[in-house]
Structure 1
Amino acid sequence: MAADMSFRRVVRQSKFRHVFGQAVKADQCYDDIRVSRVTWDSSFCAVNPKFVAVIVEASGGGAFLVLPLSKTGRIDKSYPTVCGHTGPVLDIDWCPHNDEVIASGSEDCTVKVWQIPENGLAAPLVEPVVSLEGHSKRVGIVTWHPTARNVLLSAGCDNVVVIWNVGSGEELFRLEDQHPDMIYSASWNRDGSLFCTACKDKSVRILDPRRGTVIKEKEKAHEGARPMRAIFLADGKVFTTGFSRMSERQLALWDPNNLDEPIAVQEMDSSNGVLLPFYDPDTSVVYLCGKGDSSIRYFEITDEAPYVHFLNTYISKDPQRGMGFMSKRGLDVNKCEIARFYKLHERKCEPIIMTVPRKSDLFQDDLYPDTAGPEPPMEAEDWVAGRDAMPLLISLKDGYVPSKQRDLKVTRKNVLSTATASSASAASSGAAKSSGSTHLSAAASHPAGIPTIHHPDDKKVEELIEEVRALKLVVQAQGKRIAKLEEQLARIEDGDV
């Protein structure tokens, strides 16, 4: 009996111990995608409940694909891309408050924000809603504020962090002197009052963006020379990945109130791929995906020693070039899916589903606590004025149903404004053409955000007329071809051939 009790103490109980990963069937993958080969340690993929975006190879500039989740199978080489950057795209991030808005950072030193039409791209998208120019070197990091609408952080190889109001196209805060070297990663805390960074000088810093000050700093968080990553956890702790002095991969957990020593540190292996951490605040599970690895390791973080508990490893055959991580709103709660990854191969994107086996078909409350919803609790102006707010939570009990998205258009101090359903659908189909240039010029020439008159219905009519013309030409060509084939068939039947 005593032995049995001691065994129970050794084997820690966790509802996530039996999580297993499974790749989807071949016909559910996105095939024939030329994933970017640019040398940069970002995930190259971003996903939300509507779209998957992948940075791809592009001649003469930078581009990324945006595919509706349902568009699986072979992706035609002529499929339209978002291609307005003049240099390779390094990082992309979906807006947490609008599933049709995505930000991108590029080697061309700009940050651009794009409106994706509701049903995906019908033509190449060249003009962004707004182009943000504040960096002197390539921009490798873009990440949206978790709770304030329109607030976006960008970090460049000029060692500068800029906080933008996307709605007005203006810089809110600029942090120039806090990082002496290249910034490897940036991560907001749960309420967006602070963010943490990992830097090439081996330091992890916690910063207050509104004061422009470093609150805490840990030098040599990992002693190895290769890149580190740092993310905030929901309880305010900081989780890092990096390399030891002997070039072994490490993970570590830190209490910001005392950064002298980590709460926990674990050596992993001696591979040289950077470990990208993906964190689920609802379950306190961290997934580690190494670039070039063929596995995903996952850990549960708790308040009891050893604090970081290894759960399991998903192993596959092929190495990953990048990885997308679905937000909780996009998961299938009926199948007890607790995470979904979008693994980038050399020529395809493969969804991987993480499931907790359960016998009951009922909604599993313990797996799905209320999660961050798409509605922001405050505007950019509130946050600038000093307000903080936690995410507004939604229940997933009946599954997440996306509501009508806000359309991007220039209004006073706000690009991402509410639009009526009719104008939203009309503008979405025109976004790939002329609307982007209207927004961009308005944002550039009217910093105060003077409204511009916009007639999406006229554009819609023009586009439909153009489409009808094109279809008529196709029908005429096919008619001629059919007539020719019928003539040949008649000759064959008459024995003339």
Structure 2
Amino acid sequence: MSFRKVVRQSKFRHVFGQPVKNDQCYEDIRVSRVTWDSTFCAVNPKFLAVIVESSGGGAFLVLPLGKTGRVDKASPTVCGHTGPVLDIDWCPHNDEVIASGSEDCTVMVWQIPENGLASPLTEPVVVLEGHTKRVGIVTWHPTARNVLLSAGCDNVVLIWNVGTAEELYRLDTQHPDLIYNVCWNRNGSLFCSACKDKSVRIIDPRRGTLVAEREKAHEGARPMRAIFLADGKVFTTGFSRMSERQLALWDPGNLEEPMALQELDSSNGALLPFYDPDSSVVYVCGKGDSSIRYFEITDEPPYIHFLNTFTSKEPQRGMGSMPKRGLEVSKCEIARFYKLHERKCEPIVMTVPRKSDLFQDDLYPDTAGPEAALEAEEWVSGRDADPILISLREAYVPSKQRDLKVSRRNVLSDSRPTATPARPGAPTPAATTAMTTASGSLAGAGEARKLEEVMQELRALRALVKEQGERIGRLEEQLGRLENGDA
């Protein structure tokens, strides 16, 4: 009796990757040659940031997304670090704020002018000093405003309140060796880390406790990565003892055995995973590879389902991934990567081809928006909150309207007077003045009342927009049925 193999149904089986035309690339960028396994690239709906080679210190380039083509050698950079920049990360709650970690042992937070840099930016809004060795990892809290995590080659993880420049938590006993990467879970109550001692750890930063640990998650000696998925599982990339590259999926409740383990190939570049919580697709990019493989993670065995590989000619030096709210939904774009070559940055668009011009609800569930769900103080006090979601149906409206509510929010807009830092991490005098001004501006009960009124109005408007969006959706469906002769 013969069994026919059943092909698994998935709307992402036909994800189609395509590089953009040459004139849509960013040419003549001297990408950093630092031997550090960071992505070297960070992107959001307004700006592209790339760590570049620079004489006399560390620098990164920030370009408005639309400024494609050849990048002038004299283009201004963000250049306040005295050593090479190793990692950069855009703030998820303000598209004009970016953090950087450097070999000079500091973390700096920068406010980028609304229209991009007109001259070199040398004054950070805040300097965070607490590491004794180079800082290779910076990553913002996903839901609490102004909370930033940094990890250094001193094997220490620090968590900062950027609004007050104070060190909130110092985790200096959990990692006995170099930390390869750190990733927050969806609500920012925990983070996972991959370490040179081959262990993957899940840590509660506020209690400073180790929640779970898996030794030898991958047995090879080369760098690993660990990321949290939306359902709390952990996805890792690493190497086997025979130097085969591997992917694994773990249940934090039982780290004895991986739920799934797949061997990929025997290349030696570290695998950088990029995860889309809306579609449960993980895109895996190897440093030095010329391909992006993508996998769908599901609840049924074998859990990790290979979808396809996008391949191009040139190897990648680094990679950036656009947040969902920066994609073109009218073109059924479900991901966009910014691939770094030796001398350029090439956007790669991932689409699910559809015949209909209507908004594709199944491809675009509500996604994390730019509004913070918590203030730093609320998170410190023990509260957790999931990301505030937005509908991408509104993306048909010009993006300017979506950005308005965040574009004027300063990194330091803060309703309390600035606290004097209790530990190292004092800001520059200019930053202190800016912080005090920003902090004082919301003081007083009258102001708080006004703010509450504005928030109520905003909530009412949001509800109205959602209602209208649903109505438009229904009308579009009716129109589609009429056009197809169904009604």
Q: TM-score range by the shorter chain?
A: 0.7 to 0.9
User: What is the aligned partner in structure 2 of residue 440 from structure 1?
Assistant: 431
Does the Cα contact within 8 Å between 1:410 and 1:442 map onto a contact in 2?
no
Does the Cα contact within 8 Å between 1:167 and 1:414 map onto a contact in 2?
no
Find the partner of 1:379 among 347, 353, 375. Answer: 375
Map 1:295-444 onto structure 2 (within 5 A).
295-399=291-395, 401-404=402-405, 405=407, 406-409=409-412, 413=416, 438-442=429-433
Secondary structure of 1:382 counterpart: helix
Unpaired segments ≥5 residues, structure 2: 419-426, 442-487
1:78 is the counterpart of 2:74: yes
Instruction: Decide whether aligned partners of structure 1 residues 413 and 170 sit closer, same or farther in structure 2, where only a CA change above 3 A counts.
Output: farther
Shift of 1:408: 3.8
Find the partner of 2:159 among 142, 157, 163. Answer: 163
Does the Cα contact within 8 Å between 2:412 and 2:439 map onto a contact in 1?
no
Deviations 1:237-260 (A, max 9, x none): 000000000000000000000000
Q: Distance in 2 between matches of 1:122 and 1:14?
A: 46
Deviations 1:293-337 (A, max 9, x none): 000000000001100000000000000000000000000000000
Does the Cα contact within 8 Å between 2:38 and 2:87 map onto a contact in 1?
yes
1:233 is the counterpart of 2:262: no
User: What is the aligned partner in structure 2 of residue 459 from structure 1?
Assistant: none
User: What is the aligned partner in structure 1 of residue 462 from structure 2?
Assistant: none
Shift of 1:378: 0.8
Secondary structure of 2:394 counterpart: coil
Q: Distance in 2 between matches of 1:331 and 1:383?
A: 30
Secondary structure of 2:404 counterpart: coil
1:15 is the counterpart of 2:6: no
Q: Distance in 2 between matches of 1:313 and 1:439?
A: 49
Q: Distance in 2 between matches of 1:270 and 1:311?
A: 20
Shift of 1:20: 1.0
Q: Distance in 2 between matches of 1:413 and 1:387?
A: 19
Secondary structure of 2:115 counterpart: coil
User: What is the aligned partner in structure 1 of residue 110 from structure 2?
Assistant: 114
Q: Distance in 2 between matches of 1:332 and 1:414?
A: 41
Shift of 1:407: 2.4
Secondary structure of 1:10 counterpart: coil
Q: Distance in 2 between matches of 1:42 and 1:195?
A: 18
Map 1:127-206 onto structure 2 (within 5 A).
127-206=123-202
Does the Cα contact within 8 Å between 1:168 and 1:443 map onto a contact in 2?
no
Shift of 1:124: 0.3
Q: Distance in 2 between matches of 1:218 and 1:439?
A: 45
Larger radius of gyration: 1
Secondary structure of 2:116 counterpart: coil
Shift of 1:410: 6.9
Q: Distance in 1 between matches of 2:179 and 2:257?
A: 22
Secondary structure of 2:305 counterpart: strand
Q: Distance in 1 between matches of 2:50 and 2:233?
A: 30
Does the Cα contact within 8 Å between 1:168 and 1:449 map onto a contact in 2?
no
Does the Cα contact within 8 Å between 2:126 and 2:428 map onto a contact in 1?
no
Give the letter for the 2:103 counterpart: E
User: What is the aligned partner in structure 2 of residue 479 from structure 1?
Assistant: none
Map 1:472-483 onto structure 2 (within 5 A).
none
Shift of 1:403: 1.8
Shift of 1:366: 0.5
Does the Cα contact within 8 Å between 1:130 and 1:439 map onto a contact in 2?
no
Shift of 1:188: 0.3
Which sits farther off after the overlay, 45-54 or 9-18? 9-18
User: What is the aligned partner in structure 1 of residue 467 from structure 2?
Assistant: none
Identity among equivalent pairs (%): 78
Q: Distance in 2 between matches of 1:292 and 1:280?
A: 23
Q: Distance in 1 between matches of 2:222 and 2:416?
A: 41
Find the partner of 1:217 among 201, 213, 226. Answer: 213
Shift of 1:438: 5.0
Q: Distance in 2 between matches of 1:131 and 1:35?
A: 24
Kindly report structure 1 stretches of 4+ aligned residues shifted beyond 2 Å: 407-415, 436-444, 448-452
Shift of 1:398: 2.4
Deviations 1:97-141 (A, max 9, x none): 000000000000000000000000000000100000010000000
Q: Distance in 1 between matches of 2:367 and 2:337?
A: 18
User: What is the aligned partner in structure 2 of residue 25 from structure 1?
Assistant: 21
Deviations 1:245-285 (A, max 9, x none): 00000000000000000000000000000000000000000
Give the letter for the 1:440 counterpart: A
Does the Cα contact within 8 Å between 1:105 and 1:111 map onto a contact in 2?
yes
User: What is the aligned partner in structure 2 of residue 42 from structure 1?
Assistant: 38
Instruction: Decide whether aligned partners of structure 1 residues 216 and 409 sit closer, same or farther in structure 2, where only a CA change above 3 A counts.
Output: closer
Secondary structure of 1:398 counterpart: helix
User: What is the aligned partner in structure 2 of residue 263 from structure 1?
Assistant: 259
Q: Distance in 1 between matches of 2:373 and 2:141?
A: 11
Q: Distance in 2 between matches of 1:449 and 1:67?
A: 26
User: What is the aligned partner in structure 1 of residue 480 from structure 2?
Assistant: none
Deviations 1:336-362 (A, max 9, x none): 000000000000000000000111111
Does the Cα contact within 8 Å between 2:162 and 2:412 map onto a contact in 1?
no
User: What is the aligned partner in structure 2 of residue 419 from structure 1?
Assistant: none
Give the letter for the 1:29 counterpart: C
Secondary structure of 1:230 counterpart: strand
Does the Cα contact within 8 Å between 1:442 and 1:450 map onto a contact in 2?
no
Q: Distance in 2 between matches of 1:228 and 1:179?
A: 14
Give the letter for the 2:410 counterpart: D
1:288 is the counterpart of 2:284: yes
User: What is the aligned partner in structure 1 of residue 241 from structure 2?
Assistant: 245
Q: Distance in 2 between matches of 1:383 and 1:100?
A: 23
Does the Cα contact within 8 Å between 2:417 and 2:440 map onto a contact in 1?
no
TM-score for the superposition, normalised by structure 2: 0.85
Q: Distance in 2 between matches of 1:89 and 1:21?
A: 30
Q: Distance in 2 between matches of 1:307 and 1:69?
A: 36
Q: Distance in 1 between matches of 2:438 and 2:181?
A: 31
RMSD between aligned alpha carbons? 1.8
